[in-house]
Structure 1
Amino acid sequence: MLPKGKFSRCLAAAGLMLCFGGVAQAAPDNSSPVGSTNVTVADPTVPRPPGQPCVVQLFSNDTFNDYSPRPFSYTPPAGCGTKWAKVVLEGDFSVTAGIQYDRTATIFLAGVNLYFGTTQEPDPTEAQSWHVERDLTDYTALFRNAGQGQVFIGNIVNSTYTGVIHGSARLLFYPASAVAPAAKVPDAVYPLGSDPVGSTVALNNSSSQLAATLTLPQNVERAYLDVFTQSQSNDEFWYTCVPNQYAAETQECGGGNFREAEISIDGQPAGVAPVYPWIYTGGIDLFMWEPTPGVQTLNFMPYRVDLTPFAGLLSNGSPHQIALSVQGANSYFSATASLLVYQDAHASQVTGALVRNTLVNQPPNPTIGSTLSQDSSGNVTGDITTDLSRHFIIEGYVNTSHGRVDTKVDQTVSFADTQGFNITSSTYGQTSDQLTKVDGVSRSTVNGFLSGQFDEHYRYPLHVDVGETFETSGDISILTTVRQGYEQKTSLGLDGLTLYSAEVRNHVNAGDTLVLNSSFQIASHSGQYNTQDFAFHDSLGGCYRSSVTTTNDTVTAYSSGKGCPGGQNRVFWFTHPDGSPYNGNTFLGW
């Protein structure tokens, strides 16, 4: 942590995530993490269908102590068929006792991302471990063939940074059955990166691209893009930065705080993916994230972009470039994306066209406002605002074996940010209030009727309040509070009738007071607290509720199932209580 609003990274302790067992529970109902200093989260695990899964170990107890990727070979599960009800990735990671930064972690297979997240910062005196899961059912086509993969956790180990990271991961394949039929999954998965084994791509500025030129099958009926954009280096604290013209006055990072992923096909705008403000366990004040990290810190969720209006264009037999960039990137964002394609099983060739795209004439240029003022004593007060809202419609059609399918994607994507400053010779105050919103609907018709509809609503609220006091002793006292949220509402409908709806809410509220000495070394901290509340419910009666509270780096309260019928978490195996994406044109993936 540096003075005068310069957000930085610290080293800290972590712990053991208690999220084993139970269909969709962060910890078994008969256990309690209260009193633990190990990592504890409220997130649900991925719910499972009945039956025993076939298991493929990707890598086991690999050691990460340098910047070399760890390769592995994948072979499909023997005797388990090629159609599965569900495919789940499980990963277990640990770090030895010592000093170490949090690190970015990725797993790739044949160029396609299977996992993206960060590691917990370790404790100097305790070894730590944690568990992550990802629903990869939509990537079934990838797992039908053998391939090469790699896991990458770049880590420096020397006399100063002593924490060594270890990890294992496996895929669980749940065979289809009468009660758990095979999922209706994409027919093909294509990575956007050029690495045949897989890696992320650094996007250093708004012009940098993650791109692939693909010649797709000529019978594409639907297409989606799963997007990850992770802030790194100078961009790690992008949500606190200000436009360059105000950077010196506010003593903050420049480059502004608007970030948004732009999707294009052959250079034409094709969609938007909001950027989530993930905060890593060394971020802002490391003690706030012990033992509960921020929203999705250890396990990112992708954002899924509906590219179906372009299906006719993508099926014309010509190569097409699909690209992703991050508007406002300022060195740098780490990105990866995967294209999911559904094909017409009864036609080798389909035709179609894009008929409307109002996103083309709406560049992502936010409006900047300022009420900053400076008095004769040099005190600075006031706000800087950044706002952008775009409504767009993209329509296209494809002539399939079952008729003409028209698709209309109608979205409003907005970003609103206020940076408030109160700076004197002895204090530095900065408050960041940010809200990213997506309100969208994808509608489809077959031969002009039998319309299907997928509604989605996302909210990414973030509040960061930092108050620094420069003591006469030379110490710097820094009081920080963070409120972070991930909210998702989705529904599937047919001819105006809602077939299924679900809501996910994941909120973290944390705070701490950090004291640095005159050499900017951590002298002490006090008043640490953190509460995570996770809630899911759907129209089928599924319910998941969990909450964890920490005080002074120890779990002081934990609840599971409170607020659900009977006080029990119960979700159906085919639902997505973790907030992972699903497709809007099929009912629950069947």
Structure 2
Amino acid sequence: MLPKGKFSRCLAIAGLALFFTGAAQAAPDNSSPVGTANVTVADPTVPRPPGQPCVVQLFSNDTFDDFNTRPFSYTPPTGCGTHWSKVVLEADFSVTAGVQFDRSATIFLGGVNLFFGTTQEPTSTLAPSWHVERDLTDYSALFRNAGQGQADIGNIVNSQYTGVINGSARLLFYPASVVAPAANVPDAVYPIGSDPVGSTVLLQAGANTMTATLTLPRNVERAYLDVFTQGQSTPDEFWYTCVPNQYQAQTGECGGGNFREAEISIDGQAAGVAPVYPWIFTGGADLFIWKPTPGVQTLNFLPYRVDLTPFAGVLSNGSPHQVTLTLAGVNYYFMATAALLVYEDPHASQVSGQVVSNTLANQAPNPTIGSTLSTDSSGNTTGNVTTNLSRHFVIKGYVNTSHGRVDTTVDQTVSFANTEIFDITATTYDQTSEQLSSVEGVSTSKIGAFVSGQFRQSFRYPLYMQSNQTFTDSAGDSTVVTTIRQGFDEHTALSIDGFPLYAADVHNHHEGSDSIDYSPTYAIISHAGQNSKQDFTFSDSLGGCYRASVSAANDVVTAYSSGKGCPGQHNRVFWFTEPDGSPYQGEGLLGW
């Protein structure tokens, strides 16, 4: 039989395009940013439901000029109820003109991450500012109680590094209404591997795990893990360019290899995989490429969501359980954080169930390494180093609920492929990195023979980076020409018993190049030829459409378009969708 309310939701979702006609959000067409040197991106903001939100300020105009956290107290909003149609984080940051590194930025509440990103680097004459948003509706349970939080942007300010970072953040709560009903959100959110207020966990070789021991409610129906893993400091800031140790001396590259992947386990049993996105800091590779448009998600990371529902019955047995993230391949320094989201059976105080089969448990994350490198008698080195791993796994489990036994199957193929191509002579050092991480997966839930939900997701994270260094004179001056292409591609589709309900596609691509002249001590002499472009597109089966593009050259915006290619040449997305690529899953789709 169908779970209570499932059939009504099926009919409601099937008719959404008709019911919500006029409820779509058209992104505002602001004045053209052409000519500005300030941060300009093509990403969409979070679409909003109708109605006036209640606003809770987390912190306002805080100054980040050291490595101390900035604590704040949180109190739930008044006047908007306790179940909201949408919850959105808005944050604004700036850095004063001067010299400053890019910095990692986080906001936590009650140990749970609300925001994770990096900062834009300033110049001697430019004080950049930027705005970020994150859809936190799935974290609503966290916001129903008062708590303590903190913002953390570790920053050095002295006579050499003079850029001071400032920031403000607030939560917007949109009250439920007839046209924007309360979202069907997880019943509880649990931080993994964090202190009670919240911070990222340092992962490094020999200490590459973070874990939490949790005793969960005894009626968990579904469970998901939102994961962030970000490379920090040399060599893990540029992990995607490294080679296995046996080729380090021959190529002069960082060692440790370039395979990185988060392995999720429950009580020591493999439970899922989270690929690592190759985010690039605004000072990364060539700092001028990212002015004024940073790379994909650089200022505002998106978490990767792992479906742990086959383990719901086990998690509900009343015993403590260890949820662990292990970062395979970490060589020096990664920052990580995660949050467990659980849905509970509202009509049963206790459920039961088991994991039936798990083919991931016998597949270790050991990539295959290959090489065609050769070095001739003159010391010239050419060839490539390849790193490949592809695993298909199926995890099945069931949970006995108040509406019957629900069997869930997570079927995924997770792949990683990296090729490092070298052409090294006495006067040139040319390296090309070509990498693709991908996921093809489907989560299927059945009640008897009836497919009560099927959610398909595919991800592609393409990265291309070429760095050609030519030594231009006997003094040791050199010119480095860098070309980068970076992408985030996502396809999602939801169906019930073979009936398609919703599908969406997100494509976020950035490309750029620049040439820098360096002194023998790698001080920048000059740069030339800077150009970059970001294209962002979203479309869904309800007719939603978002398109934006920004181009830059010589550190200023040269072209910008918004809505071009959408019906009527205007962006139009429904308030309950995720045009930025934020994770959603199954029944939580569209706020129902």
Using the size of structure 1 for normalisation, the TM-score is 0.95
Paired with 1:578 and 1:24, the residues of 2 have a C-alpha distance of 14
Counterpart of 1:386? 387
Tell me, yes or no, if the aligned pair for 1:88 and 1:173 is still in contact at 8 Å. Answer: yes
Counterpart of 1:17? none
SS at match of 1:122: coil
SS at match of 1:288: coil
Percent of aligned positions that are identical? 72
Counterpart of 1:270? 271
Counterpart code for 1:152: D
Do the aligned partners of residues 531 and 113 (structure 1) sit closer, same or farther apart at CA in structure 2, a change above 3 Å counting? Answer: same
Matches within 5 A, 1:132-531: 132-205=132-205, 208-234=208-234, 235-472=236-473, 473-531=475-533
Paired with 2:30 and 2:269, the residues of 1 have a C-alpha distance of 54
Using the TM superposition, give the Cα deviation of residue 428 of structure 1 relative to its aligned residue in structure 2, in angstroms.
Answer: 0.2
Using the TM superposition, give the Cα deviation of residue 518 of structure 1 relative to its aligned residue in structure 2, in angstroms.
Answer: 2.1
Using the TM superposition, give the Cα deviation of residue 193 of structure 1 relative to its aligned residue in structure 2, in angstroms.
Answer: 2.1
Residue by residue over 1:193-215, the C-alpha shift from the partner in whole angstroms, topping out at 9 and shown as x without a partner, is 24000000011026521100000
Paired with 2:452 and 2:160, the residues of 1 have a C-alpha distance of 61
Residue by residue over 1:442-495, the C-alpha shift from the partner in whole angstroms, topping out at 9 and shown as x without a partner, is 000113314310000000000000000001142110000000000000000011
Paired with 1:75 and 1:587, the residues of 2 have a C-alpha distance of 27
SS at match of 1:242: coil
Using the TM superposition, give the Cα deviation of residue 78 of structure 1 relative to its aligned residue in structure 2, in angstroms.
Answer: 1.1
Counterpart of 1:12? none
Do the aligned partners of residues 77 and 433 (structure 1) sit closer, same or farther apart at CA in structure 2, a change above 3 Å counting? Answer: same
Paired with 1:81 and 1:137, the residues of 2 have a C-alpha distance of 14
Name stretches of at least 5 consecutive residues in structure 1 with no aligned partner: 1-21
Using the TM superposition, give the Cα deviation of residue 23 of structure 1 relative to its aligned residue in structure 2, in angstroms.
Answer: 4.8
Paired with 1:117 and 1:520, the residues of 2 have a C-alpha distance of 27
Counterpart of 2:116? 116
Tell me, yes or no, if the aligned pair for 1:455 and 1:492 is still in contact at 8 Å. Answer: yes
Counterpart of 1:541? 543
Residue by residue over 1:503-528, the C-alpha shift from the partner in whole angstroms, topping out at 9 and shown as x without a partner, is 00000010000000122110000000
Counterpart of 1:85? 85
Tell me, yes or no, if the aligned pair for 1:209 and 1:324 is still in contact at 8 Å. Answer: yes
Residue by residue over 1:317-361, the C-alpha shift from the partner in whole angstroms, topping out at 9 and shown as x without a partner, is 000000101100011110000000000000000010000100010
SS at match of 1:233: coil
Tell me, yes or no, if the aligned pair for 1:206 and 1:326 is still in contact at 8 Å. Answer: no
Counterpart code for 2:496: L
SS at match of 1:588: helix
Residue by residue over 1:530-585, the C-alpha shift from the partner in whole angstroms, topping out at 9 and shown as x without a partner, is 00000000000000000000011110000000010010000000000000000123
Counterpart code for 1:558: Y
Tell me, yes or no, if the aligned pair for 1:259 and 1:328 is still in contact at 8 Å. Answer: yes
Moved more, 120-129 or 182-191: 120-129
Paired with 2:36 and 2:119, the residues of 1 have a C-alpha distance of 19
Matches within 5 A, 1:47-62: 47-62=47-62
SS at match of 2:247: helix
SS at match of 2:360: coil
Counterpart of 2:9? none
Counterpart of 1:16? none
Counterpart code for 2:112: V
Moved more, 38-47 or 204-213: 204-213
Paired with 2:248 and 2:30, the residues of 1 have a C-alpha distance of 52
Paired with 1:330 and 1:106, the residues of 2 have a C-alpha distance of 23
RMSD, matched Cα: 1.0
Paired with 1:208 and 1:533, the residues of 2 have a C-alpha distance of 35
Counterpart of 1:37? 37
Tell me, yes or no, if the aligned pair for 2:113 and 2:198 is still in contact at 8 Å. Answer: yes
Paired with 1:483 and 1:266, the residues of 2 have a C-alpha distance of 39
Counterpart code for 2:125: T
Tell me, yes or no, if the aligned pair for 2:444 and 2:451 is still in contact at 8 Å. Answer: no
Paired with 1:298 and 1:410, the residues of 2 have a C-alpha distance of 32
SS at match of 2:259: coil
Paired with 2:273 and 2:30, the residues of 1 have a C-alpha distance of 43
Paired with 2:373 and 2:113, the residues of 1 have a C-alpha distance of 43
SS at match of 1:167: strand
Tell me, yes or no, if the aligned pair for 1:454 and 1:585 is still in contact at 8 Å. Answer: no
Paired with 2:388 and 2:327, the residues of 1 have a C-alpha distance of 17
Name stretches of at least 5 consecutive residues in structure 2 with no aligned partner: 1-23
Residues matched between the structures, number: 567
SS at match of 1:40: coil
Moved more, 328-337 or 446-455: 446-455
Counterpart code for 1:543: C
Paired with 1:570 and 1:589, the residues of 2 have a C-alpha distance of 18
Do the aligned partners of residues 23 and 124 (structure 1) sit closer, same or farther apart at CA in structure 2, a change above 3 Å counting? Answer: farther
Using the TM superposition, give the Cα deviation of residue 24 of structure 1 relative to its aligned residue in structure 2, in angstroms.
Answer: 6.2
Counterpart code for 1:160: Q
Tell me, yes or no, if the aligned pair for 1:24 and 1:46 is still in contact at 8 Å. Answer: no
Paired with 1:583 and 1:466, the residues of 2 have a C-alpha distance of 39
Using the TM superposition, give the Cα deviation of residue 30 of structure 1 relative to its aligned residue in structure 2, in angstroms.
Answer: 4.2
SS at match of 2:349: coil
Moved more, 469-478 or 435-444: 469-478
Paired with 1:92 and 1:45, the residues of 2 have a C-alpha distance of 13
SS at match of 1:377: coil
Using the size of structure 2 for normalisation, the TM-score is 0.95
Tell me, yes or no, if the aligned pair for 2:437 and 2:462 is still in contact at 8 Å. Answer: yes
Runs of 4+ in 1 over 6 A off after TM superposition: none
Residue by residue over 1:270-295, the C-alpha shift from the partner in whole angstroms, topping out at 9 and shown as x without a partner, is 00000000001000000000000000
